[in-house]
Amino acid sequence: MAARRVASWQGPKLGHYVLLWTVLFTAHCRAFTVRQTSDGGVDVLLDGTLLLRHQRSDPAILVGSGTTVFRELHGNFNISDTVGLRVPLPDVDVTQPSPSEYRLLFSSGGNYQTEMTLMTGNEGHDHVMNISIPGNLDRTWLRLYADDGEHVYGGGEQFTYFDLRGRSFPIWTREQGVGRQPGTFVTDEANRRDGGGGDYHTTYWPQPTFVSSRRYFCHFTTTDYMIMDFTDTTAHVMQIWGSPGVVHFGAAATFPELSEQLGALLGKQPELPDWVYDGAILGVQGGTSEVLRYLEQAEGQGVKVNALWIQDWAGRIRTSFGRRLFWNWVWDENQYPGLREEIVRQKERGVRFLGYINPHLNKLGNLYAIADSRGYFVKNSTGQTYIQDFGEFFCGTIDLTNPAAFQWYKNEVIIKNMIELGLSGWMADFGEYLPPDMVFYNGVPGREMHNHYPALWAKANRDAVEESGKLGEIVFWMRAGFSGSQNYSVMSWAGDQFVDYSLGDGLASVIPAALSLGVSGYGLSHFDIGGFTSLFGITRTEELLLRYAEMAVFTPMMRTHEGNRPADNWQVYSSDSTLQHFARLVDVHVSLTGYIRELVQNNSRYNLPVQSPLFYHYPDDPMVYSIKYQYMFGPDVLIAPVYREGVDTWQVYLPQGHTWVHLWSDNSYEGGRTVTVDAPLGQTPFFFRESSRWASLFRTVARDNPPVSGTSLSSSILPYVTAIVAIPLFFWFRQH
Ligand SMILES: *[C@@H]1O[C@H](CO)[C@@H](O)[C@H](O)[C@H]1NC(C)=O
Ligand SMILES: *[C@@H]1O[C@H](CO)[C@@H](O)[C@H](O)[C@H]1NC(C)=O
Ligand SMILES: *[C@@H]1O[C@H](CO)[C@@H](O)[C@H](O)[C@H]1NC(C)=O
Ligand SMILES: *[C@@H]1O[C@H](CO)[C@@H](O)[C@H](O)[C@H]1NC(C)=O
Ligand SMILES: *[C@@H]1O[C@H](CO)[C@@H](O)[C@H](O)[C@H]1NC(C)=O
């Protein structure tokens, strides 16, 4: 704005002076201010927002040291910590070396001292807090000011709680866990099995970033272990291991502006390839003829398939968890004969092939032998390849901090074996299993590399795609993530949900996951249609599969997964009727292409997440701040996925101040209340604002895609049909 004014400068006018004062005044406000308070304390504000309140009786900084022990098994970590020293620093001395910089020296009777620098740089756009603690200490408690009614969101991808207030969140990438709710059958069984049950905070993508309802964000640049504790009523207590380093803050009038600032800081995601919107990605496996048979079957029932995702392109092994892939990323020509030609043939008719990779190599494969002989793996304390048990098979982890190893994996494995084979994308799995006693080429301690590794893994994939000139053609999707993934990963997925309706690990959990990841600066996500993990005799039903599918319609990318035990679980191809339901859902998705593409563009341009929380667009409605199972699919569209079994109506809260139209019935509702609508299978509650410029598209989509006749499910109507037929027959027989 200011730059444009300068360009058209034709001498000062009154308006220009007003503008100049406005700019100066705004620039002044968009900086830290430090106010000394009467009790010998200080308040730190940004843009008028109180960030930190230091009082002698309640110091904002404590320092200390402690011992932390990490135990890892199958990507699950037990972390035990003993604090040896914890010293509050009540004294503070403030200096201001320049108008844009403050120095705060915190101390405790001269024994311990810590310097905090507050700087505003980059023309008032970058607000940095830099904390340095004495070298012999390794722990900092930073107490940020907290308000009574304040809500806090983000923390990376959080599956259980969207508003983080009232809970504590360790920042450590790991398996999200099976069940994720101690005390439930699935979680307790998973814990008995290998300690893999998880909890509300366990996640593949934690991130030390949060957004407050007081309209500021806070981002820690450390990659070391840390805990964001929001349980205190007067302070957000950030416990940082190692050097606390640099913390970024930003304040803005609106939440989308905060997102934009985070995008400038962390990087943004590119747009998706156009083919992604053309249909659904079918997750199938078993060999060339097998997957083509699935394709024919799906297309025969009218399903628009844009890609076959064959995760077993490199072959398979068998374990007690189910069929596992052979982690040796080379085309298995025995299982997939003629694949290279088939990829070309299918691409001509609009069906791509996608594969799978992760940063580990199975000891039994030829790639392992090469990497091992060249020293490309992460090492253990005795300088040998660090071997990990991945569940009845053993692997090394590629050391992406070693430039030669990085190049080799990118060029010889990803580019040569996958891109040159013709694959248009892949799941870039794992990245969370690295124990802190691993020894890296770059000399950075394993504890600091652990969280950073997923971003490096994303960069290896991204570089391979870019160097092949295939950005905009190839899509890879990742579950592990951390700060930095924003700039490299091109799509995320929610990982391995359990095949049930549990809030901890079931269908519902992917909604807060997408929202918290969006708030943390990563606005593209999707999930396995049907969920993934099936254990302890619990299997996926047709209803669960279709509820997942209907929710996926309103995300940027639809992709099915057969799960860890394909034969035991209901599949999209299990019946023609399922395929017909699925075909209609894919049609709805495809007919929204123009709209979804624009949402994805807005994420690329403005870092506005494709799925965003209600408060992003309706901040004046106090009710929306605690909603975690509904989302905005663009400012005008509200989606309230059905996440319970056996229901056909659903309650939805509509933001106040607007009139909302229910897509499937065309009924209008005034916002500011909860309404109940019909929500049979295939009709995810979808509301659009009456005034939306997309209203006619939405109405056309609804009109052109009526529910599939005989909407009820074969599996769930069977008892009723049986009853309806059997009961009269019973009486008829009795009477005759
Ligand atoms: C933060 O402080 C440390 C130690 O004083 C210094 O080395 C580093 O350059 C500072 N970083 C920034 C961004 O000011
Ligand atoms: C973590 O602790 C739980 C509970 O004590 C135990 O079942 C599990 O095996 C432990 N896991 C590891 C990796 O030590
Ligand atoms: C994003 O990645 C590019 C290419 O590696 C790099 O030049 C740029 O600095 C990165 N941006 C951020 C915000 O990390
Ligand atoms: C290091 O790894 C090698 C195998 O690569 C193993 O034989 C050795 O025991 C490991 N050393 C330690 C200290 O774990
Ligand atoms: C994308 O962003 C632009 C600019 O803010 C806005 O006008 C447009 O409505 C957005 N598109 C969608 C689909 O939300």
Q: How far is the CA of 240 from the centre of ligand 4 (A)?
A: 31
- Which protein residues are within 6 Å of ligand 4, measured from CB? 380-382, 384-385, 387
8 Å CB contact between 287 and 262: no
Helices (H) and strands (E) in the chain, counts: 17, 36
Span 453-482, average pLDDT: 98
Query: Can you give the pLDDT at residue 29?
Result: 52
C-alpha of residue 192 to centroid of ligand 3, in Å: 43
Looking from the CA of residue 265, the nearest atom of ligand 3 is 13
| pLDDT for the residue 19 | 42
How far does residue 130's CA lie from ligand 1's centre (Å)? 6
Region 152-163 average pLDDT: 98
Residue 12 predicted with pLDDT over 90: no
Q: For 541-570, write each residue's pLDDT tens digit.
A: 999 999 999 999 999 999 999 999 999 999
Residue 534 to residue 20: CA distance in whole angstroms: 63
Mean pLDDT estimate for the chain: 93
Q: How far apart are CA 515 and CA 356, in angstroms?
A: 26
Ligand 3 centroid from CA 267, angstroms? 7
Average pLDDT (620-631) is 98
From the alpha carbon of 380, which atom of ligand 4 is closest? 1
User: Is the minimum distance from the CB of 130 to ligand 1 under 6 angstroms?
Assistant: yes
For the cut 80, the answer to whether the pLDDT of residue 342 exceeds it is yes
Q: Distance (Å, rounded) from C-alpha 510 to C-alpha 557?
A: 14
- Cα–Cα dist 213/620, whole Å: 11
* pLDDT(716) > 70: no
139-145/235-241 β-pairing: antiparallel
Query: Is it the case that residue 17 has pLDDT exceeding 70?
Result: no
Ligand nearest to the Cα of 612, by number: 5
Cα gap 208→294, rounded to integer Å: 43
Query: Cα–Cα distance between 526 and 712 in angstroms, integer?
Result: 26
Whether the pLDDT of residue 680 is over 70: the answer is yes
Q: Which of 196, 198, 191, 207 is nearest to 158 (CA)?
A: 207
What's the confidence (pLDDT) of residue 14?
Answer: 44
Give residue 235 CA to ligand 1 midpoint distance, Å: 25
Ligand positioned closest to the Cα atom of 603: 5
> Letter for the amino acid at 71?
R
Which atom, in ligand 5's list, is nearest to the CA of 595? Answer: 13
Where does residue 550 fall: left (phi above 0), alpha (psi -120 to 50 degrees), or beta otherwise? Answer: alpha
Tokens of residue 62, six digits: 């404590």
pLDDT beyond 90 at 409: yes
Q: What pairs with residue 245 in β-bridges?
A: 131
Comparing CA positions, the residue from 434, 432, 426 lying closest to residue 396 is 434
Q: Ligand 3, from 268, 487, 604: best to mutate by most atoms within 8 Å of Cβ?
A: 487
State whether the beta carbon of 602 lies less than 6 angstroms from ligand 5: yes
DSSP SS3 for 149: coil
| Residues annotated catalytic, as ranges | 429, 432, 496
Instruction: Work out the pLDDT band at 713, boundaries 50, 70, 90.
Output: low
Q: Determine which helix (DSSP H) or strand (DSSP E) holds 169, and give its type and residue range.
A: strand 168-171
Ligand 3 centroid to Cα of residue 412, in Å, is 24
Ligand positioned closest to the Cα atom of 257: 5
- State the pLDDT at residue 351: 98
Helix (H, G, I), strand (E, B) or coil at 493: strand
* pLDDT tens figures, 572-621: 999 999 999 999 999 999 999 999 999 999 999 999 999 999 999 999 99
Beta bridge partners of 92: 106
**pLDDT band with cut points at 50, 70 and 90 for residue 109:** confident
Beta strand 352-357 pairing with 425-428: parallel
Pocket lining: 261 vs ligand 3, CB cutoff 6 Å: no
Give 124's pLDDT tier (boundaries 50, 70, 90): confident
Least confident of 119-123, 398-402, 672-676: 119-123
CA torsion, points 235, 241, 246, 247, in degrees to nearest 10? -30
* Domains of the chain, start order: 20-265 (2.70.98), 274-582 (3.20.20.80), 614-704 (2.60.40.1180)
DSSP conformational letter for 433: -
| Ligand 1 binding pocket includes 246 (Cβ within 6 Å) | yes
| Residues facing 389 on adjacent strands | 394
Residue 627 has pLDDT above 50, yes or no: yes
Element (H, E) at 112: strand 112-121
Atom 6 of ligand 2, nearest CA residue: 195
- CB of 267 shorter than 6 A to ligand 3: yes
Q: Is the pLDDT of residue 27 over 90?
A: no
Burial letters 336-353, b for 16+ CB under 10 A, else e: beebeebbeebeeeebbb
- CB of residue 635 inside a 6 A radius of ligand 5: yes
Question: How far from the centroid of its chain's Cα atoms is residue 153's Cα?
Answer: 13
Exposure b/e, 199-235, CB count within 10 A at least 16 = b: bbbbbbbbbbbbbbbbbbbbbbbbbbbbbbbbeeeeb
Q: For the chain, what's the residue count?
A: 736
Pocket probe mutation, ligand 1, options 118, 246, 249, max atoms within 8 Å of Cβ: 246
Q: What is the mean pLDDT of residues 62-84?
A: 97
Tokens of 29: 């406000």
- Mark residue 566 as left, alpha or beta (left: phi above 0; alpha: psi -120 to 50; beta: remaining): alpha
Cβ(132) to ligand 1 under 6 A? yes
Rounded to whole angstroms, how far apart are CA atoms 613 and 601?
18
Phi, psi dihedral angles at 284 (to 5 degrees)? -140, 165
* Side chain identity at residue 635, one-letter code: P
**C-alpha 218 – ligand 3 centre gap (Å):** 20
**Nearest ligand by distance to the CA of 397:** 4
What does residue 159 show for φ and ψ, rounded to 5 degrees? -90, -25
Question: Whole-angstrom Cα distance, residue 90 to residue 112?
Answer: 10
How far apart CA 614 and CA 630 sit, in angstroms, is 8
Q: What is the DSSP string of 279-291?
A: SEEEE--S-HHHH
**Which of 699, 186, 225 lies closest to 445 in space, CA to CA?**
225
Question: What does the pLDDT look like over 256-295, one tens digit per residue?
Answer: 999 999 999 999 999 999 999 999 999 999 999 999 999 9
When pLDDT is averaged across residues 169-176 and rounded to a whole number, the result is 98
End-to-end CA separation in angstroms for the chain: 89
Q: Whose CA is nearest to atom 14 of ligand 2?
A: 71
Q: Give residue-wise pLDDT tens across range 173-229.
A: 999 999 999 999 999 999 999 999 999 999 999 999 999 999 999 999 999 999 999
Q: Which atom of ligand 5 is nearest to the CA of 598?
A: 13
CA-to-CA distance for 100 and 475, rounded, in angstroms? 43
- Give dist(CA 736, CA 734) in Å, integer: 6
Cβ neighbour number for residue 241 with a 10 Å cutoff: 19
Report how far residue 498's alpha carbon sits from residue 485's, in angstroms, rounded to the nearest whole number. Answer: 25
Residue 419 has what DSSP assignment?
A: I
Average pLDDT over residues 642-648: 98
The answer to whether 69 and 447 have CB atoms below 8 angstroms apart is: no
**pLDDT cut 90: percent of the chain above it:** 88
pLDDT value at residue 724 = 52
User: Pairing relation of β-strands 305-309 and 280-283?
Assistant: parallel
Among protein residues, the one whose CA lies closest to atom 11 of ligand 2 = 195
| Nearest alpha carbon, ligand 1 atom 14 | 130
Rounded Cα–Cα distance for residues 335 and 589 (Å): 33
Q: What is the DSSP letter of 270?
A: P
595 lines ligand 5 (CB under 6 A): yes
Q: Which ligand is nearest to the CA of 438?
A: 4
Q: Are strands 126-132 and 112-121 parallel, antiparallel or unpaired?
A: antiparallel
More confident residue, 5 or 321: 321
Binding site membership of 242 for ligand 3 (Cβ less than 6 Å): no
Range with lowest mean pLDDT among 19-23, 493-497, 617-621? 19-23
Question: How many angstroms separate the alpha carbon of residue 381 from the centre of ligand 4?
Answer: 8
DSSP-assigned states of every residue in 41-99: -EEEEETTEEEEEEBTTB-SEEEEEEEEEEEEETTEEEEEEEEEEEEE--EEEEEEEET
* Least trusted range by pLDDT, from 106-115, 121-130, 223-232: 121-130
Which of 592, 596, 598, 694 is the best mutation target for the ligand 5 pocket, counting ligand atoms within 8 Å of the beta carbon and taking the most? 598
Q: Are 231 and 110 in contact (CB under 8 A)?
A: no
The confidence score (pLDDT) of residue 125 equals 79
